[in-house]
Amino acid sequence: MIPKDLRYTEEHEWIKVENGEATIGITEHASQELGEIVFAELPEVGTQFDKMAEFGSVESVKTVSSLYLPVSGEISAINEDISEQPETINNAPYSEGWLVRVKLSDEKEVEDLMTQEQYESFLEKIV
């Protein structure tokens, strides 16, 4: 089930904005396509990124996949639990499996991202 209260990218990241801060992770579709995730490389808190810049990667038993930040901003937190239990990304991609939190540079950038309905349509075209 794809949550309705999130926005999505064509690279399969999701974003949830609350009070000028965004929580970002990868979608269930992405986690299933990757297979068992064994490692996540995440940036340091305080690092600035432009919209759609590569901010890290996830490694699975199959491949390494780059992560792209859906919005511009500064990393305000990383999910420390992911380094100890990367499989959390597979098991709970929309909750405990979040990757980073970002202080948004421009909240309007979120409007450019896909809604749940648009993301579902996008998935139907690529699957």
Rounded distance between C-alpha atoms, residue 90 and residue 58, angstroms = 11
Which strand (E) or helix (H) includes residue 30? helix 28-34
CB 109 within 8 A of CB 71: yes
pLDDT at 1: 85
CB 97 within 8 A of CB 25: yes
SS3 call for 18: strand
Mean pLDDT of 41-58: 97
Confidence tier at 127 by pLDDT (50, 70, 90): confident
Q: Is residue 79 predicted with pLDDT exceeding 80?
A: yes
User: For the chain, which domains are there?
Assistant: 7-106 (2.40.50.100)
